[in-house]
Amino acid sequence: MTATEMKKRNKVITLSQFIAEEQQKFPEASGDLSKIFRDIKFAAKLVNRDVNKAGLVDILGEHGSTNIQGESVKKLDVIANEEFINSLAAGGDCCAIISEEEDYIRHLNKDAKYVIAMDPLDGSSNIDVNAAIGTIFSVYRRVSEVGSEVTEADCLQKGVNQVAAGYVIYGSSTMLVYTTGNGVNGFTLDISIGDFCLSHPQMKTPDLGKIYSVNEGNYNQFADGFKNYIKQCKENSMSARYIGSMVADFHRNMIKGGIFMYPATGSAPNGKLRLMYECNPMAMLTEQAGGKATTGNQRIMEVEPTELHQRVPVIMGSSKMVDELVSML
């Protein structure tokens, strides 16, 4: 029985069962990717726990202060970063990590073949106000030989080379959504059993939606094409929805249909969002769900990366909406 059939018959299928089933379709697979998912899943549960206690900040101490145990309190994005790195390091199947929270490549097991790019906590300005936040990750196969030192070329690969991509959303429920290039599947964390269970098999985004998501506070700095598109959205009485957590804005638009943009502005000529651990993974997910992701000039996943923390303007979501906006640029 396929996972989708099991879901239809209300049979619970956990993320680990689902991954094991997927892996069986590739008898030559080493299983290392499944182990990467095991480590990501574990770290996601730790971050979920920590995010849930974020409201206890008065008891635990403000960021940068000293808590009642006399320990200095770290920012949640630093904690999430450590949790993901520690889990992937302990698992031993990751050779290097690029993280929003690290200036340089973090070298792990050189005998492993996978590189991870991640934004351990996305939307961190929303932590203090109890709105949804997330983790974004992407997995690449290194290009240099296993056993040698990891190189920059292993880490700076185009998005089209991603082996897997996904995010965790810590929202009204916690979900892990991922793709390995075979469609997108979503799993909801059932805290009573401590496991992610398949809740959204084969996610597809509508070709057309009614939502546009952009930080309109930057409107005056946008190029005319964006201004005209936004005016048209208003004339058509579309809904403006923007939380300021890319994961949450993306997740909503993927399910309901919509367009998400972070264009270039006068002060940020390449936009704000990062290619390696924000735009590429989301681009792979949106394409796998039937949507599109572009800089306005180029498919996101074909952008040649030159720096770990490079930024790119991004337009992504429902395919007809993306096409329409690009035609106006």
Positions that interact with Mn ion (CB under 5 A): 100, 119, 121-122
Q: Where are the alpha helices (DSSP H) in the chain?
A: 3-8, 15-24, 32-52, 57-60, 76-91, 152-155, 224-235, 246-256, 280-288, 319-328
Size of the site for ligand AHG (CB under 6 A): 10
Q: Select from 118-126, 165-173, 305-313, 318-326 the region that touches ligand AHG (CB under 6 A).
A: 118-126
Nearest distance, CB of residue 177 and Mn ion, angstroms: 16
Quick check: 100 binds ligand AHG (CB under 6 A)?
yes
Quick check: 311 binds ligand AHG (CB under 6 A)?
no
Closer residue to Mn ion (CB): 93 or 119: 119
Show the tokens assigned to 265.
């502005």
Show the tokens assigned to 247.
């994961």
Closer residue to Mn ion (CB): 59 or 129: 129
Quick check: 101 binds ligand AHG (CB under 6 A)?
no
- Longest CA–CA span in the chain (Å) reads 58
Nearest Cα residue to 153 out of 111, 115, 205, 112: 115
Q: For 7, list phi and psi in degrees, rounded to 5.
A: -60, -45
User: Does residue 272 sit in helix, strand or coil?
Assistant: coil
Residue 319 binds which of Mn ion, ligand AHG, none (CB < 5-8 A, kind-dependent): none
Nearest distance, CB of residue 131 and Mn ion, angstroms: 14
Q: Residue 227: how many CB atoms within 10 A of its CB?
A: 15
Which member of 106, 272, 292, 311 binds ligand AHG (CB under 6 A)? Answer: 272
Quick check: 83 binds ligand AHG (CB under 6 A)?
no
Give the separation between CA 275 and CA 254, rounded to whole angstroms.
19
Q: Residue 213: how many CB atoms within 10 A of its CB?
A: 24
Closer residue to Mn ion (CB): 142 or 272: 272
Nearest distance, CB of residue 199 and ligand AHG, angstroms: 23
Residue 215 binds which of ligand AHG, Mn ion, none (CB < 5-8 A, kind-dependent): ligand AHG
Residue whose pair of structure tokens reads 């939606």 in the numeric block: 209
Show the tokens assigned to 129.
């106000």
Binding positions for ligand AHG, 120-139, rule CB under 6 A: 122-124
Residue 244 binds which of ligand AHG, Mn ion, none (CB < 5-8 A, kind-dependent): ligand AHG
Residue whose pair of structure tokens reads 């506070």 in the numeric block: 217
Residue 145: burial class (beta carbons within 10 Å; 0-12, 13-18, 19+)? exposed
Using CA atoms, how far residue 39 sits from 3, 110, 278, in Å, is: 22, 17, 20
Quick check: 215 binds ligand AHG (CB under 6 A)?
yes
Nearest distance, CB of residue 100 and ligand AHG, angstroms: 6
Closer residue to ligand AHG (CB): 124 or 205: 124
Q: How far is CA 245 from the centre of its chain?
A: 11
Nearest distance, CB of residue 213 and ligand AHG, angstroms: 8
Nearest distance, CB of residue 278 and Mn ion, angstroms: 5
One-letter amino acid of 158: K
Give the separation between CA 77 and CA 271, rounded to whole angstroms.
22
Nearest distance, CB of residue 25 and ligand AHG, angstroms: 34
Nearest distance, CB of residue 214 and ligand AHG, angstroms: 8
Contact mark string toward ligand AHG, 234..253, x via CB under 6 A: ----------xxx-------
Tell me which residues touch ligand AHG (CB under 6 A).
100, 119, 122-124, 215, 244-246, 272
